[in-house]
Chain A
Amino acid sequence: MIKKIYFQSIFFSFLFFKEAFAAESGGMPQLNPEFWISQIFWLILTFGTMYVVLSKFILPKISNNLESRKSQILENIEAAEKQREDSEAKLKEYDEVILKSKSDAKTMFNQTREKALKDIMAKKEVLDQQIDDEINKAEKEIEVLRVSAPDKINKIAIETSSELLEKLIGSGVNSSSISAIVDDLSKRNGDKYYGN
């Protein structure tokens, strides 16, 4: 039902329009030459003015702006490139400095270590020498003491034995015979007492 009304109304509206057009048809206003001269005059006036102003004042300014912007951007890019190169060179320099200082530190460390080792060795040698000397001295003394010790022991043995004999017997005994006995004994037992 609604559909029917819809299409009917469209159909009738066409009829109305036809009537309306028929009543007011005056042809195309474009083909009425009444204002042609006026339109030509105003077209030339406005378009001409616009062309002169655009070409003399505005367009050169725009092209100038574009050019200067382009050159400015190029300059900026160039400057940025240059700065980048500079910073790269600086970075290289820095790396080199770091590398050099590292190697310097290494050599310095090695040198000082060697020097310290040398010092230590020298001191050690001196000390060794001293210790050796001391040891030699002590050994010599010991040797002397060891060599002299049996004689002293024998002497003491002789003295004590002669004193003992004197007390036991009551008269002196020939010391030379005692010493001969002691010597004989000590020679026989020498290994036991001195370990040589």
Chain B
Amino acid sequence: MAANPMSQFDVYRIGPEIKVGAFDISFTNASLFMIISTVSILLVFNFGSKRNSVLPNKMQLLAELSYTFVAKMISDTAGSKAKPYFAFIFSLFMFVLFCNMFGMIPYTFTVTSHIIVTFILASFIFIGVTIIGFIKHGFGYLKLFVPSGVPAVLLPLIVVIEIISYLSRPISLSVRLFANMMAGHTMMKVFGGFVISLGLVGGWLPLSFSVALTGLEILVAFLQAYVFAILTCIYLNDALNLHH
């Protein structure tokens, strides 16, 4: 059972089955790690913002560096108009980052390795950005699909491509995060299985791979959270400043 590298992604019920109407909203291991992530985020940033000393302590430094990091990322990619959405992008980045990082601890569950979670996040961003775009620009937002400086002959084709690429945004956004997390964790599990099966004689090679992969996966965990947040910023930038 443990040898199956996909079994780490199994969702199972913790406690009794909870049903609202026809929907099963039981508390699962996924819910547990969502709660752990959010509670840790809130604790870290609560302690990081409690005291304001001129020389910050470690928690305060952590909170303020994250704040300025995300603020800089947003202002660099989406400009000053994106300021009202700072809190959302900050929460998004932190949530994805903490879920990814908690997944790196052995025997934990990686919330973001499930397509449904990333898809819900991505579609929420997609719908939100589309609504913001239509509120800001009205039907002028549709000019997003008509790039300027394109020959009239190519225009129908380009518009179709642009629409398809726009509609595939939530899919690419969600699949990128989900696939990265799932592939990384599966690979680590496979190499871990090799260590056991090869034993003392041949197990050292996959073990060293495993160590290297852990470092790589921590990098990927951060990078995917960053990519997720920065793509959100770019989509938001399209909606706020119609450049095309």
Contacts and interface: CB of A to CB of B under 8 A. Distances in A.
A46 interface: yes
B68 interface: yes
B114 A30 contact: yes
B26 interface: yes
Given A46-B34, A50-B95, A34 B11 contact: yes
A47 interface: yes
Contacts of A9: 198-199, 201-202
A31 B10 CA distance: 10
Contacts of A37: 23-25
Contact of B10 (A29, A40, A44): A29
B48 interface: yes
Interface size class on chain B is: 35 or more
B34 A30 contact: no
Contacts of B88: 51, 55
A28 interface: yes
Contacts of B111: 43
B24 A59 contact: no
A111 to B, nearest CB: 59
A19 to B, nearest CB: 10
Contacts of B95: 47, 50
A39 B11 contact: yes
Contacts, number: 153
A17 B193 contact: yes
Given A17-B3, A17-B197, A51-B87, A46 B35 contact: yes
Interface string A35-65: 1111111111011011101110011011111
B49 A30 contact: no
A14 B113 CA distance: 26
A43 B9 contact: no
B87 A55 contact: yes
A62 B121 CA distance: 25
Chain A interface mostly: helix
Interface string A1-43: 0000110011001001100110011111111101111111111
12 contacts: A10-B198, A24-B4, A26-B6, A29-B7, A29-B10, A35-B24, A39-B11, A39-B114, A43-B121, A49-B38, A54-B90, A65-B52
Interface of B: 1, 3-4, 6-7, 9-11, 13, 23-28, 30-31, 34-35, 37-38, 41-42, 45-46, 48-49, 52, 54, 60, 63-64, 67-68, 86-88, 90-91, 94-95, 111, 113-117, 120-121, 178, 182, 190, 193-194, 197-199, 201-202
